[in-house]
Copies of this chain bind each other. A is one copy, B any other.
């Protein structure tokens, strides 16, 4: 039968319909600049391609050109952290805008899975790799054979100097500034402060910067904290306990600076338990977790700009910048807790 073949439409088919060689068709469709093909030839090829619904075979293209319009997004944990979501979303949007696509890989922070992920990415000839670190300070990155372009996202690596980070130092400063400009001075308590974090030995490097920013702004105003309770982890129940302790020591505090929203969540619960209410005692925190908007009254917080970071990473990867830390500002999300 003279049936419709269901085979894939190839460049050769387009060329044939246009009455030209596939070389010509290729040059025209890829928009080569210095070709000397006639306007008429251009017209015919484009028409033929449209008519047949031609889509280039990316595998063939990749084989020839070593470009896949694909970016590997390798993260240690998509899992454990709600942060990954925003990063991925931003990266996805930027990638799509640039006509690229994202290959998602997870390593769980285990070196052998990291190697596997990198190999899987390289096997697929990705155009570049984004290493997203949710926790680690310095990411362990196995040797990359080729001259693959790499961007570190929310982490740093001595081997790959290109990185995108939240501007935690400025963020820390602006939290203090907001409190001070709301009239708080000598009765501010710090919740979650961590000695070791401050030395950059624990948690992410960026959190150390957050704390450094806070102290620098306090110093600029000649202030110091009325109380500062520290803990290793920053979950709601830690915030709860720490706040109870602070309230017992210093019933005169007027503001709580919590190092993240989950600590603040616990602080709300502790204040309720102690019969104190929230805009009465002001609270500011960091991250802009989902819960910040659920609390009553809404929690004012210095947001981690995840989406912007994700998209910055992709743009950086696709640009020709060769080094440096790219800091993304942390905006204050004002709700009703101050």
Contact = CB atoms under 8 A, between A and B. Distances in A.
Interface of A: 6, 8, 55-60, 62-63, 68, 70, 73, 78-79, 82, 84-85, 88-89, 92-93, 96, 101-106, 113, 116, 119-120, 122-125, 145-146, 235-236, 240, 262, 265, 269, 272, 290-291, 294, 296
A68 B78 contact: no
A277 to B, nearest CB: 11
Contacts of A272: 272
B103 A103 contact: yes
A101 B92 contact: no
A56 B123 contact: yes
Contacts of A113: 96
Given A101-B120, A124-B58, A84 B85 contact: yes
A294 B262 contact: yes
A57 B63 CA distance: 8
Contacts of A93: 106
Contacts of A124: 58-59, 68, 70, 101
A158 to B, nearest CB: 22
Given A55-B119, A59-B125, 14 more contacts: A6-B146, A8-B146, A57-B63, A57-B123, A57-B125, A59-B63, A82-B82, A88-B104, A101-B120, A101-B124, A103-B103, A269-B296, A272-B272, A291-B291
Contact of A105 (B60, B79, B101, B119): B101
A238 to B, nearest CB: 12
In the assembly, how many copies of this chain are there?
2
A116 to B, nearest CB: 8
A106 B89 contact: yes
Given A78-B92, A84-B85, A55 B123 contact: yes
A81 B154 CA distance: 22
Closest 4 pairs between A and B when the two form their complex, measured CB to CB: A59-B62, A59-B63, A104-B104, A236-B294
Contact of A55 (B122, B236, B291): B122
Given A58-B125, A85-B78, A265-B294, A92 B104 contact: yes
B82 A78 contact: no
Contact of A106 (B79, B92, B262): B92
Contact of A68 (B59, B105, B145): B59
A151 B102 CA distance: 20
Contact of A103 (B6, B60, B102, B265): B102
Contacts of A235: 294
A119 B265 CA distance: 44
